[in-house]
A and B are shown apart, each in its own frame.
Chain A
Amino acid sequence: MKNEVLRFDNVTFCYDTERPEHTAVRDLSFSLYEGEFTCILGHNGSGKSTVAKLCNALLLPTSGTVTAYGLDTAVEANENEIRRNVGMVFQNPDNQLVATIVEDDVAFGPENLGLPREEIAARVDEALRLVGMTEFRKHEPHRLSGGQKQRVAIAGALAMQTRCLVLDEPTAMLDPQGRQEVMEALFKLKRELGITVVLVTHFMSEAVAADRVLVMNDGKLCMDGTPREVFAHSEELSAIGLAVPKPLEIARTLRQNGIPIDDVLTADELAQAFYNAFT
C-alpha cells in the first residue's frame, strides 16, 4: 500500500469570505503519496500557491479538509508536527528570508526544531553546499542577487530535512545551470531518501521528469496523470494558458508532415526518435 502524505478533501479556499467571487481554489480533492514527485502546473492566478500554502497549514481551508501525514491541518495542536514534516519554499524568497546573515537564515528552521548545535551546523553546511552558496554564508540575504536569494531560500528548506518538500517556483530566477542543479538535487532527495516532492512550476521541461502532474485551471483541478498522459492533451493545455514541452511541439510538427515520430518529452528523446527514423 502506498502511504498517503497529503490529502485534500473537497477543499475550497477564499482569501476574502465577504467576496466569494474571489474564491482561489474550489472543491479540490486529491491525494499525494510517499516518495512521489508531483508537479503542479496552471496559469497565473489558477491557485497553485494557494494549494502549496494549504499543504502545511499556512492557510486553512474555508471548507473541506487538508490532511498531512494523517493530521488535520485545521487542528492547531497539529501545526508543529505538520511543519516538521512538510517543508516549504515560497514563491518569493523575500517572504522567507528572516535573518540578517545567510547562515543564520538557513539555521533558523533547524534551531526552532531544538536540534543540537553540531547537528544544526552540519545541516547548514550541507544545505549551503547543495545550492552552491557556501562562499556567501556570511553575507546579508537582502544584499544578494535575485537568484542567490532564491538559492538561500531553498537551502533553508533543505536544512529542515522534512519528509515532504513543497516548492513554489523555486527555479524561476535561476540561471540554466542553477536550474538543472536544483532539479537534480530534488530528484536525488526523492531517489535516495524517498522524500515526497511537490513542485509548482511554469517550466514544462521540469514537469516531464515528474511521476505525476496536476494541472490547475481557475482554482480547480483539471488534469491529473503522468507527464506523458497530461502532455498528450496539447489543445486543452493551450486553451488554459499552458503549453507542451518544445521537443514535443517539434515532434508533432514533424508527424503532421509525414515523419513517423511518436510523442517525445525531452530533447534527448526527440534526437533519439529522429535518429532512429533516419538510420
Chain B
Amino acid sequence: MAVLTVQNLCYGYAKGTPFEKAVLHDVCCTFGEGEIVAVIGHTGSGKSTLLQHLNGLLKPDSGDVLLDGESIYRSKAALRECRFRVGMCFQYPEQQLFESTVRDDIAFGPKNQKLAADEIDRRVKESLAYVGLRESYADKSPFDLSGGEKRRVAIAGVLAMEPEVLILDEPSAGLDPAGKKALLKLITDYHAQTGSTVIFVSHDMDDVAEIADRVLVLSKGRAVMSGTTREVFARADELLEMGLGLPEATSVMLRLRHEGLDVPTDVFTAEEAAAALLAFARKGAGV
C-alpha cells in the first residue's frame, strides 16, 4: 500500500518573473508503506523540490500529492496533519536550525505536536543519543557547532517528532565516515522499530546500495527510472550518462569484467565484492 503518491506533479519557481523556470515535469511516483527509498539525480535535477512537496511545503502548479490516498492540499487541517506525519530534514542544516540552544531546536517539533514536557525531554535526550552527540551539546548554540555537528542536530530535530514518513535531504553530506555509518544504521533501526517509510536523497551511491530497497532517479525534472536498488544499478551506462555514479564495489567488478574476468557485476557493497572475488578465486584455483 502506498503511503505517499505523487500524481502528475508539475512545478516551476519564480512564476510571473523573468526567472520563471519549470523544474518538475509531470512527475509520478509512489512511496510504499515501510519502504526505504533513495532519490538520486544530478545537481539541479529537482530532488529537493520534489521532497518539499511531500509534506506540503511547496504546492504543485498542477498534479497532486496523496497521503494515504487523500490529497494533502484538500484543507488546512489536512496539510497540518501531513506536517506532523511526514518529517523533513533539509539539505543544509542552516535552513532548519534557528533556536538559541540545541535543546530548544530539537524540542521545537515535539512542542508543536503539543506533547507533555517530560515526553519532550525524553525525546530530546533520545534523539541526541541517536545522532551521537553528547548531552553536553544540549545547551550549546546550534550556530556554534561544526558543519557535521549541525547536521546531526538537524536530524535529531526531525527524529524527535517520530514521523511516520521520514524524509532526509542529503543526510550524510558532511558526516565523517563513522557518523555516516551510524546514520545509515540509525535509519535502518528507526525503520525496523517503527515500520516507518524513509525517503532520502544522496549523491553517495555506496549509501544508497547499503540501505535502500528502491531507488527513484530524477533527471532534468523528470522521474526517469524507478526500481529495486539492484535493478537501477544494473543500468550502469544510463546512470553514468546522467552524471551519476555507481557504488565503488560495483566499479571494481565492472573493471574486472572489462579486463575479461568473468566476475559478477551485481555486487554493491565492499562485503559483497570481497565475497564474490573470493568465490571467483576459489573456483579459478579449482578449490
Contact = CB atoms under 8 A, between A and B. Distances in A.
Given A173-B203, A242-B178, A243-B178, A45 B148 contact: yes
Contact of B252 (A146, A271, A278): A271
Contact of B43 (A91, A174, A247): A174
B234 interface: no
Nearest to A256: B274
B224 interface: no
A274 interface: yes
B206 interface: yes
B35 to A, nearest CB: 23
Given A178-B43, A271-B255, A146 B179 contact: no
Given A15-B144, A202-B176, A250-B273, A176 B243 contact: yes
Interface in B100-115: none
A139 B151 CA distance: 27
Interface of B: 13-14, 19, 41-44, 48, 91-92, 94, 144-149, 151-152, 169-170, 173-181, 203, 205-206, 240, 243-245, 248-249, 251-252, 255-256, 259, 261, 270-271, 273-274, 277-278, 280-281, 284
A145 B43 contact: yes
A202 B259 CA distance: 31
Given A174-B43, A275-B261, A146 B244 contact: no
Interface of A: 15, 42-46, 49, 91-92, 94, 139-140, 143-148, 151, 169, 172-179, 202, 204-205, 238, 241-243, 245-247, 249-250, 253-254, 257, 259, 267-268, 270-271, 274-275, 277-279
A247 B146 CA distance: 29
B201 to A, nearest CB: 9
B256 A271 contact: yes
B259 A271 contact: yes
B248 A205 contact: yes
B50 to A, nearest CB: 12
Nearest to B182: A241
Nearest to A91: B147
Given A176-B243, A177-B240, A177-B245, 7 more contacts: A148-B44, A202-B174, A241-B177, A246-B270, A247-B252, A254-B274, A267-B251
A246 B278 CA distance: 16
B278 A176 contact: no
- Kindly name the residue among A49, A146, A253 whose own CB sees the greatest number of chain B CB atoms within 10 A: A146
Query: Which of A44, A143, A241, A246 has the largest number of chain B CB atoms within 10 A?
Result: A44
Nearest to A44: B148
Given A267-B252, A278-B261, A257 B170 contact: no
20 contacts: A49-B146, A94-B92, A143-B14, A143-B19, A146-B48, A148-B43, A148-B44, A151-B43, A176-B203, A177-B240, A202-B175, A202-B176, A238-B178, A243-B177, A243-B178, A246-B270, A254-B278, A259-B277, A270-B252, A279-B261
Contacts of B278: 253-254, 257, 259
Contact of B173 (A148, A172, A279): A172
A243 B190 CA distance: 24
A277 B278 CA distance: 12
Nearest to A200: B147
Nearest to A93: B92
Contacts of B273: 250
A143 B144 CA distance: 26
A270 B263 CA distance: 14
Contacts of A250: 249, 252, 270, 273-274, 277
A42 B14 contact: no
A196 to B, nearest CB: 23
A38 B260 CA distance: 36
A97 to B, nearest CB: 12
B211 to A, nearest CB: 16
B245 A176 contact: yes
B42 A175 contact: yes
A132 to B, nearest CB: 9
A243 B177 CA distance: 6
Contact of A174 (B203, B240, B270): B203
Given A91-B147, A268-B255, A274-B256, A145 B274 contact: no
Nearest to A42: B176
Contact of A45 (B42, B149, B180, B270): B149
B146 A45 contact: yes
B146 A278 contact: no
